[in-house]
Amino acid sequence: MAEVELRRISKMYERQKVVNEVSALIAPGEFFVLVGPSGCGKSTTLRMIAGLEDISEGELLIGGKRVNEVAPSGRNISMVFQNYALYPHLTVKDNILFGLQVRKVDKQEQAKRLELVAEMLGIAQLLHRKPKELSGGQRQRVALGRAIVSQHPICLMDEPLSNLDAKLRGHMRTEIRQLQQELGITMIYVTHDQVEAMTMGDRMMVLRDGEVQQVGRPLDVYNRPANLFVAEFTGAPPMNTTEGVWRSNGAQSGVELTNDPSRRFLPLGLQAGIKGGTPVVLGVRPEALQPLEAGSPLDESRSLLVSVQGVEILGSETIVEFRLGDKLWKAKWNGQWPCRRGDVLRVGFAAEQVSLFDSQSGKNLAITAGTEKGEILRCVQ
């Protein structure tokens, strides 16, 4: 196994920089996810690692060796593409073995690896079929098999599940993760789906417009987003936000909601380093907003009396929508809640479940600018 290190790598097309100084150290055997919206530079970054795109600036190291000018075939990596890139005129068997045949691997060794991969992926009965005779999930397994049979220590995947239906996508997420752990390979995985990033990755890198926003373990990114973009990108539904001003009045320090007609005040306790009068964006996760019954012991000063705008009962959970000023907020509750549009409810939250962001930079005001344990925890200016 080999580690992969990106040292401030950038990509330019003519005068436009589409990837800007991306840095990361990916450990051997790690499942590392590049995630972000379409056009953020994640696939371009992966293609630079693969050698399919030239690196305009910076250095790429694999196993401690600089490989900027090394051809893709010399980087000891395999890749699974979004469209699977199977040869339509070849059988499943020949598609899987194509790379080994080009490298002139001994035929007995080819047969041994084929048998192992076919058994592992459950495609032994498909070896003599052509790609057109396969379902989407079966084609995806063949593409995986071709990558695995090469026995390269690093595998790159570019949105391999985007062509599958939701149920099969969930199943294949589990299969790919288990396979990676069993083989112990380093996997670098690109997706625009934050659910995939959260459930599959050991660590994730969030990208926006070619800039790194945050790197960290999925739960750390979710619980401590470095900036407003990361907060609103992660989570389903995403974090609720609204504008306000920080008011510091001793023990009653908190946020005055400026987009609320009543300009209600939410006390949050002391927040070191935030000056009174600072414009902020207050964020609360949907699952942190819980219904309060009459006589609830929770502090009603940190609660909201709201009118229900919409309800989605999903079976195991219920999404309740309401307006806070000019923003539509969502609360996520376990179980089935028979709410209706127009119902008036009181919802509350704990002070420690609130995130505060600078209204100008978007930076999380609870996180000190800089790095912590090698992870990027600052908003890119």
Evaluate if residue 372 carries a pLDDT over 50. no
> Given this model, what pLDDT does residue 370 score?
38
CA dihedral 143, 2, 74, 206 (to 10 degrees): 60
**In terms of domains, do 185 and 240 share one?**
no
- Which residues in 89-101 are b (16+ Cβ under 10 Å) and which e? eebbbebbbbbbe
Q: How far apart are the C-alpha atoms of 170 and 175, rounded to whole Å? A: 9
pLDDT band for position 270 (cuts 50, 70, 90): low
Q: Which of 298, 305, 300, 286 is nearest to 346 (CA)?
A: 305
Nearest to 160 by CA among 270, 80, 40: 80
**Residues 242 and 119 placed together within one structural domain of the fold:** no
Mean pLDDT, the chain, whole residue set: 88
Residue among 48, 376, 22 nearest 230 (CA): 376
Q: Look at the chain and report how many structural domains it folds into.
A: 2
Q: Is residue 287 assigned to a domain?
A: yes
Q: What is the CATH number of the domain that holds 113?
A: 3.40.50.300
Can you give the pLDDT at residue 182?
Answer: 86
168 vs 190: which has the higher pLDDT = 190
Q: Mark whether 131 and 158 lie in a shared domain.
A: yes
Q: Is 206 left (phi over 0), alpha (psi -120 to 50) or beta?
A: beta
Where does residue 335 fall: left (phi above 0), alpha (psi -120 to 50 degrees), or beta otherwise?
left
Structural domain includes residue 372: no
Instruction: Give Rg (Cα) of the chain.
Output: 25
The answer, yes or no, to whether residue 381 has pLDDT greater than 70, is: no
Angstrom distance (rounded) from CA 306 to CA 234: 25
pLDDT at position 378: 34
Model pLDDT, residue 374 = 38
End-to-end CA distance of the chain: 36
Alpha-carbon gap, residue 242 to 282, rounded angstroms: 5
The tokens describing 368, both together, are 């000190």
Q: What CATH number does residue 340 fall under?
A: 2.40.50.140
* Residue 222 binned pLDDT confidence (cut-offs 50, 70, 90): very high
Q: Can you give the pLDDT at residue 64? A: 92
Higher pLDDT, residue 144 or 25: 25
Asked if residue 380 has pLDDT above 50, the reply is no
Whether 86 contacts 131, CB under 8 Å = yes
Neighbours of 17 (CB within 10 A): 17
- Structure tokens that stand for 373 in this block: 């344990």
- Band of the pLDDT at 379, cuts 50, 70, 90? very low
Q: How far apart are CA 51 and CA 57, in angstroms?
A: 14
- Among 79-83, 198-202, 290-294, the least confident range: 290-294
Torsions phi, psi of 130, nearest 5? -95, 155
- Residue 164 domain-assigned (yes or no): yes
Burial tier of 88 (Cβ tally within 10 Å: 0-12, 13-18, 19+): exposed
Q: With 60 as the cut, is the pLDDT of residue 58 above it?
A: yes
Across residues 69-98, what is the average pLDDT?
A: 90
Q: Among the ranges 141-155, 287-301, 365-379, which has the highest mean pLDDT value?
A: 141-155
Amino acid 70: pLDDT: 95
Nearest to 40 by CA among 259, 204, 218: 204
Same domain for 186 and 261? no
- Report pLDDT for 175: 84
Tell me the per-residue pLDDT of 309-336, one tens digit each, with 9 for 90 and over. Answer: 999 999 899 999 999 888 999 999 999 9
Q: Say which range, 7-16, 181-190, 215-224, 288-297, has the weakest mean pLDDT.
A: 288-297
Q: Which helix (H) or strand (E) holds 309?
A: strand 303-313
Pair 46, 178 in one domain: yes
Give the pLDDT band of residue 300 (cuts 50, 70, 90): low
Whether 54 maps to a domain, the answer reads yes
- Whether 330 and 197 share a structural domain: no
Q: What is the pTM of this model?
A: 0.87
- Whether the Cβ atoms of residue 367 and residue 224 lie closer than 8 Å to each other: yes
pLDDT computed for residue 167 by the predictor:
81
* Domain containing residue 13: 4-228
Quote the pLDDT of residue 371.
40
The predicted pLDDT at position 295 comes to 58
Higher pLDDT, 84 or 104: 104
The dihedral sign for the CA sequence 202, 203, 204, 205:
negative
Are 159 and 181 within one domain?
Answer: yes
